Structure 1
Amino acid sequence: MRFDLAHWQQVAAERYPNGLPKPYSDDPTQWIFHGHPQPATEPLQVAVARLLGYRWPAESDSEMELSDQARAWIARSAGLNALADDDGIVCLPPVRGEKAAADRLENLLEAAFGSDWTPQRRNQLLEQVGARSLDAWLRDKFFEQHCKLFHHRPFVWHVWDGLKDGFSALVNYHKLTRANLERLIYTYLGDWIRTQQHGVEQKLDGAAERLSYAQNLKARLEAILAGEAPYDIFVRWKPLAEQPIGWEPDLNDGVRLNIRPFMTAEVLRHNKKPKLNIEWKKDRGTDVPSAPWYTLGLQYGEKEGARINDHHLTLAAKKAART
């Protein structure tokens, strides 16, 4: 097929008489996204991410080539930072003196949309995501939609105890250090457990069931914190002495590897396909002989050099390698 250069040069001259426009995107899956909910293709998803303290790359890169319009939205996004949570943990029910997640989300949306934030606008956004209220959307649909939007590499995790009116929290994975996991367990979940214990003493309906589910969640999160197999992180390109001991995630290793303990412990709102489609099958290609786990494939009926990911290590083995 012949390419008509002159024709397309004429089309370009007519469409872009001043040259190609500078980069701009309202799509939150794009690197150049400005970070503001109002013009975004997924306003509620963006608002939740901002509430959890997430920032898009364009917001912190002053050298990135962007349009003036994008820079203007980035400047407006900065005005929402005061509403972001400080530790990246936002509980759906009111816990530890903090408002419920739905109330905090509405406050951020009101600040983002200004006079354009009306009951009609809220209902329009809720209709787009198939929910009747912000609370119901956060509880039942947010995480599934978040996983789908970001191609099953979620950076906001929905931790819950499995009970509809139980403990539930949204967590910014990029801020989920060991200290913040401890804070989730012993400060936020701990406060919820104390509230339910008091409810049991007062013989409140449902308190005993909520307490039981919360205590079970605590045990599973503590197992992740400790990191004994099968609740460990395995990174096939790191030698034994560099493998994480307990919850020591390296963001550079990727969400696919770091989320494994949470999915194994089944503490997320969705832990299986198709709603959360993450697997640890062997990767394509073959490792070089100098790779730290070059012979691991032999343990799984594969050849040397097979890039095995679904492998578990004991704490004892990892600690011994560091001595």
Structure 2
Amino acid sequence: MGKNQQSLLFDFTPETDAVMAAVRELLARSQPSAWELDINDGVRLSIQPFLMANDVGRNGAGVLRFKPNIKWDKDRGNEPQSLRPKADFPWFWGCDPEKLPAHQKDFPGGDTFDGNRWNGLHYTTALKQAARDRSR
């Protein structure tokens, strides 16, 4: 693995932090940024940067030896609106990354609540920091 690939994994900048997927159960202000990983966030969040690096072995495995069998699609069910306000959980408000790829990164929230459980949404360090600053 070259230095450029290592920088994607370890030297987070506002641009490369977008490889970290959002944890849909956490408030926007509580989203992990750079290497503030939480073991309770689940394997999809923690392993994604390693899979996004150039393949060094098998196709789609990134820097890992084998590609893990992880479901990346939308999860079943919906979230309750009463527990997911738009300011804290914008990804539950009109987000559809399958139809609109622009929704995959820094989606601010739409007009209507749908509660869909999307995976693979990305938020930059700047947006996460702004949410933390608003909560203070």
**TM-score normalised according to structure 2 size:** 0.64
Partner of residue 287 from structure 1, selected from 79, 85, 89: 79
Alignment of 1:6-21 (within 5 A): none
C-alpha deviation, 1:229, in angstroms: 4.4
Match in the other structure for 2:126: 316
Alignment of 1:1-323 (within 5 A): 161=1, 213=2, 215-223=3-11, 225-226=12-13, 228-266=16-54, 269-270=57-58, 272=60, 275-289=67-81, 290-291=83-84, 292=89, 293-298=91-96, 300-301=98-99, 304-323=114-133
Q: Which has the larger radius of gyration?
A: 1
1:259 alignment partner, SS class:
helix
Match in the other structure for 2:110: none
Structure with bigger helix share is 1
Identity %: 35
C-alpha deviation, 1:270, in angstroms: 4.7
C-alpha deviation, 1:267, in angstroms: 6.6
Deviation by residue 1:44-78 (Cα, 9 ceiling, x = unmatched): xxxxxxxxxxxxxxxxxxxxxxxxxxxxxxxxxxx
* Alignment root-mean-square deviation, CA: 2.9
On the 8 A contact 2:17/2:33 being kept in 1, the answer is no
Query: Which portions of structure 1, spanning 4 or more consecutive aligned residues, are displaced by more than 4 angstroms?
Result: 267-271, 298-303
Q: Where in structure 1 are there 5+ consecutive unaligned residues?
A: 1-160, 162-212
CA distance in 2, matches of 1:288, 1:276: 31
2:95 alignment partner, SS class:
helix
Query: How many corresponding residue pairs?
Result: 110
C-alpha deviation, 1:216, in angstroms: 2.9
Deviation by residue 1:189-210 (Cα, 9 ceiling, x = unmatched): xxxxxxxxxxxxxxxxxxxxxx
CA distance in 2, matches of 1:321, 1:220: 24
CA distance in 1, matches of 2:94, 2:56: 30
C-alpha deviation, 1:232, in angstroms: 1.6
Match in the other structure for 2:107: none
Q: Where in structure 2 are there 5+ consecutive unaligned residues?
A: 101-112
On the 8 A contact 1:236/1:307 being kept in 2, the answer is yes
Q: With a CA cutoff of 8 Å and minimum separation of 6, indicate the structure with the bigger relative contact order.
A: 2
On the 8 A contact 1:243/1:318 being kept in 2, the answer is yes
Deviation by residue 1:224-269 (Cα, 9 ceiling, x = unmatched): x447343223101111101111121111111122111221224775
CA distance in 2, matches of 1:252, 1:300: 27
On the 8 A contact 1:234/1:312 being kept in 2, the answer is yes
CA distance in 2, matches of 1:267, 1:248: 25
Match in the other structure for 1:89: none
CA distance in 1, matches of 2:24, 2:59: 22
CA distance in 2, matches of 1:247, 1:271: 26
* Cα distance, 1:299–1:275 mapped onto 2, change above 3 Å: closer
